[in-house]
């Protein structure tokens, strides 16, 4: 079963705008990771945030983690057409047999 | 380093047949995990292998099995295929020695069961 829920399911914005995606999860985690997937291809790792971290940056990406609310957000600033993809959060649970538990993803479309 | 490779990239099978998919991890990575992705169920964990041993297993029937070789390459097998097995199968490798490891994914094998 999916642990994570992502919000929104789909997001369409203009190039240059910022995009924010949210992820909620259910159990205690070691870390949370964000991945990007283009048109049913393989997943590309974007960023990993540990359970003891609250915020992390990588280029135009900013990730926050609130373990008390069991939620995370991914902010992409100054979006580009090439950012069009599906974005997934994945949690590494402390307990359980699952390696990574993925959310359903957010489909992001950047309009030129 | 070369990335994770998966073969074949596309496969068409009929119900009742069996299929074997292959995954070569990044050089030096000893952990290989398999995931199934479908439009209805999303990404679901199948199993993880480390040093030729299955470490974790997801909630899939016994028709789904896997193995890992001494060179860390992994195969997964699906027997008695069903229409619902049509999916993108992704494998990922990681350096298990790191406590907070990133999973590196291959391009996937798209399986269509007719």
Chain A environment of B42 (Cβ under 8 Å): 2, 102-105
B14 upstream amide cis, omega within 30 of 0: no
Identify the helix (H) or strand (E) that includes residue B49: strand B42-50
For residue B37, the chain A residues in CB contact (below 8 A) are: 40
User: What pLDDT is attached to residue B36?
Assistant: 97
Percent of chain B that is helix, strand, coil (3-state, to 5): 5, 55, 45
Q: Which residues of A55-72 are buried (b: 16+ CB within 10 A; e: fewer)?
A: ebeeeebbbbbeeeebbb
Place of tokens 């079963």: A1
Query: Is residue B50 within 8 Å of residue B30, measured between CB atoms?
Result: yes
Interval A89-106 mean pLDDT? 84
% of chain A surpassing 70 pLDDT: 94
pLDDT tens per residue across span A40-92: 788 999 999 999 999 999 999 999 999 999 999 999 999 999 999 999 999 98
The pLDDT of residue A1 is 45
CA of A35 to nearest chain B CA: how many angstroms apart?
10
């Amino acid at each position: 079963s999916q642990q994570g829920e992502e919000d929104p399911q789909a997001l369409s914005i203009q190039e240059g705008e910022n995009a924010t995606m949210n992820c909620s999860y259910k159990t205690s985690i070691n870390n949370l990771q964000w991945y990007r997937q283009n048109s049913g291809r393989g997943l590309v790792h974007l960023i990993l945030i540990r359970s003891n971290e609250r915020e992390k940056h990588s280029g135009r990406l900013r990730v926050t983690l609130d373990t008390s609310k069991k939620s995370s957000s991914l902010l992409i600033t100054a979006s580009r057409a090439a950012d069009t993809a599906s974005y997934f959060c994945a949690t590494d649970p402390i307990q359980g047999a699952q390696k990574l538990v993925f959310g359903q993803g957010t489909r992001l479309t950047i309009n030129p | 380093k070369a990335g994770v490779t998966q073969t074949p990239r596309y496969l068409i099978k009929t119900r009742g047949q069996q299929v074997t998919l292959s995954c070569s991890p990044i050089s030096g990575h000893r952990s290989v995990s398999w995931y199934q992705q479908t439009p209805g169920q999303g990404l679901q964990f199948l199993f993880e292998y480390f040093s030729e041993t299955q470490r974790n297993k997801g909630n899939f029937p016994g028709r789904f099995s896997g193995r890992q070789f001494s060179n860390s390459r992994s195969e997964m097998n699906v027997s008695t295929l069903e229409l619902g097995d049509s999916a993108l199968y992704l494998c990922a490798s990681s350096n298990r020695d790191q406590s907070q490891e990133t999973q590196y994914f291959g391009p996937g094998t798209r399986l269509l069961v007719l």
